[in-house]
Structure 1
Amino acid sequence: MAHLVETMAYANTTPWHGLGNRLSAKQPIDVWAEQSGLSFEIKETPVRFMSESAGNLDSIMPFPEQKVLFRSDTKVPLSVVSNRYQVVQPREILEFYRDLTEISGFELETAGVLKGGRKVWALARTNQSSTLKGNDTVNGYVLLATGCDGTLATTAQFTSIRVVCNNTLAVALANGSNAVKVPHNTTFDPQVVKNQLGISVSSWDGFMHRMKTLSERKVKSHESLNYFLRVFTDPSMTASGLSNERAMKKVLALYEGNGKGADLASSKGTAFGLLNAVTEYVDHEKRARSTDHRLESAWFGAGATLKQKALDQALLMIA
């Protein structure tokens, strides 16, 4: 089966999805663009059609309300969009990090192309890091991604990654949201996004305070079962099949000791352990057509939604 990941590069340790070209640390943006596959441009051309009358083909006619987006290198078409659609180029995703890496101490760790160029992303580690009891370290990252097929606005997200298991979790921003999204009918302004993102000590400290509180919240066996029932129950389903029993069984096993870091003091028998059982399930264990399908889901799709639900339910336990 073809991978969703077209090309990708990474620095430092191998990422949890195990894909990509390895780079040495602190490579310049130009090297990242070449090795990650983000060196192409997204071009556009008007939609045209050919009419037919009496068995003969007439002249080629334009359809001015829409345009075709295609890759500059391969000429492969990517999507048909409205003329109002404003493209964000792959190189712009990397350039977003230039001042952050050169001045603010950030370091690019992964970047790449999904779905043949329909989605691109880059992930950089910030200089923010915290450690919970049991030497359980969590590092801060910034993820920036965009799409050109109508399925993803340009999205900037402050993200945490737990070192022991590489579990990822969105960090709430100062305004309470978990991402800054720029629709493609508006202009992408990197500086405005950085200001809205608020890559600040206060956001990180607030997030880690909640994680520390979760790690100190002891959980009884019936509470863990109720938690997983709330997370894996779909209210839209009928009473005959409200919960995903297969997922619950897997996540419970992760929580009770099978998960990476499940026996650390921060996780064993705690609400933080409950949350990390779900994030590990989404990032590493959940059934997926391929590793790169799992990556897309964990960052942008159903997996990201499930992790947010797990976080919301965990925070109710310390409210």
Structure 2
Amino acid sequence: MSRESLTWLNQNTLIGFSAKRGTAWHYRASHQGDEPNHYPGPIPVADVKRRLFGWEPIEGTLETSYLTGDGVTRLTDPTRKTIIRPDTGHILGVFKQGFQIHEYKRWLVQHIETILDDELAIGSAGLLKGGAVAWVQVELPDTCTTPEGVAFRPFLSAATSLDGSLSSTYQTGAQLIVCDNTLSAALASNNAKRVKIKHSRNSLGRVVDVRDALGIIHQAADAFAAEVRQLCQVEISDAHWRSFLDQHVPLPAEHGRSRTMAQTKRHALMHLWDRDKRVSPWRGTAFGVLQAVNTFTHHGQIVRGAVRAERNMHRMITGDIDDLDLATVQTLEKVLDRSILTKAA
């Protein structure tokens, strides 16, 4: 990873409760005169506004020019507009006129402020893709630990974008302390705890949906603990584990790059299963399988076109982490030929 990437992560992400969960892997001690981006306790709302969202996106026109035999011709498209970050001059997106900006201060801070109290505080916040995507994460101040020894922090994340890549999204999850992974807290629910609001002209009238979504964080801790309990009760034999690997990472018959990549991934998963403290304490259980796949995806899988921390955060705020964990459970259920999670009502 380049020094520029590390600098970006440390200047554009704020990490709270470091006294309880440790520092992020990309953390660098601040130099004299630098403002640290890690907070021992909660992140003050004022710091999120000042350090991350101290600018407002603006709309611009879409113009282009081209050279002809008669000179330079300039055209303007009145049906489209650009979204610009004024402090850097970067164009973050090009849209039809109906695109509605969801300002970060309003959609990620003001809405979040309505639920902050002694039990809920901001645990992380940041910008991705040059400011085109942003998130604010709300957490309970204390780490939860299940009887199975899984220490986690339930959270609710609020995220949106200025490049059209993400609707304004509010959802719950759980962050594991032992590995700094994000796991789904919706596997045992009939419906994922997620609300998405598109950037349409009618989106500003859906604030009531946002308020309903913000109330679900108190359910996340119990939901995730119930998932862990059920998954830890499902025994996975060595034969089951090998069968799972065969389905999760099929080994091509022909020798070549694809077979080599599959072998490398299988070896990494087996190492996690057998000897890595992030997974091996739950070896022989369905939770161990889930943890192995999730940990590999977060920390071992090859990342192209992005910084790993950015890719992990983007996976969390888009809900891809729910899809990853659900796919793992579904594959394991095929191996066992039975359901392993009791669906909540």
Q: Could you tell me the TM-score, scaled by structure 2's length?
A: 0.78
In 2: Cα distance, 1:96 partner to 1:312 partner: 35
In 1: Cα distance, 2:310 partner to 2:157 partner: 17
Residue number in structure 1 paired with 2:12: 7
Cα 1:198–1:98 change in 2 (3 A) is closer
Deviation of 1:261 after TM superposition, in Å, equals 5.1
Matched residue pairs, number?
Answer: 310
1:277 to 287, 292, 298: 292
In 2: Cα distance, 1:75 partner to 1:122 partner: 24
1:56 to 71, 77, 85: 71
Deviation of 1:116 after TM superposition, in Å, equals 0.6
- Would you say the 8 A contact 1:126–1:142 is kept in 2? no
- Would you say the 8 A contact 1:259–1:277 is kept in 2? no
Higher strand share: 1
Residue number in structure 1 paired with 2:31: none
Residue number in structure 1 paired with 2:301: 286
Cα 1:293–1:8 change in 2 (3 A) is closer
- Would you say the 8 A contact 2:185–2:227 is kept in 1? no
Residue number in structure 2 paired with 1:75: 89
Residue number in structure 1 paired with 2:26: 18
Question: Aligned partner of 1:111: which letter?
Answer: A
In 2: Cα distance, 1:204 partner to 1:292 partner: 24
Deviations 1:294-313 (A, max 9, x none): 42454248766433312444
In 2: Cα distance, 1:200 partner to 1:150 partner: 26
1:147 to 136, 161, 170: 161
Segments of 5+ residues of structure 1 without an aligned counterpart are none
- Match status 1:41 vs 2:46: no
Residue number in structure 2 paired with 1:215: 232
**Which deviates further from its counterpart, 106-115 or 135-144?**
135-144
Residue number in structure 1 paired with 2:47: 31
Identity of aligned residues (%): 20
Deviation of 1:169 after TM superposition, in Å, equals 1.1
Cα 1:231–1:219 change in 2 (3 A) is same
Deviation of 1:137 after TM superposition, in Å, equals 1.9
In 2: Cα distance, 1:158 partner to 1:303 partner: 11
In 2: Cα distance, 1:305 partner to 1:192 partner: 23
- Match status 1:318 vs 2:318: no
Deviations 1:160-202 (A, max 9, x none): 1122222211222865125322222251544412414651555
Q: Give the alignment of 1:1-319 within 5 angstroms.
A: 1=2, 2-3=4-5, 5=9, 7-13=12-18, 14-19=22-27, 21-35=37-51, 37-50=52-65, 53-58=68-73, 60-92=74-106, 93-101=108-116, 103=117, 105-126=119-140, 130-172=144-186, 176-185=191-200, 186-188=202-204, 189-196=206-213, 199=216, 201-202=218-219, 204-232=221-249, 244-260=262-278, 262-263=280-281, 267-289=282-304, 290-296=307-313, 298-299=315-316, 300=318, 305-314=323-332, 318-319=340-341
Segments of 5+ residues of structure 2 without an aligned counterpart are 28-35
- Would you say the 8 A contact 2:44–2:122 is kept in 1? no
**Which deviates further from its counterpart, 84-93 or 200-209?**
200-209
- Would you say the 8 A contact 1:157–1:171 is kept in 2? no
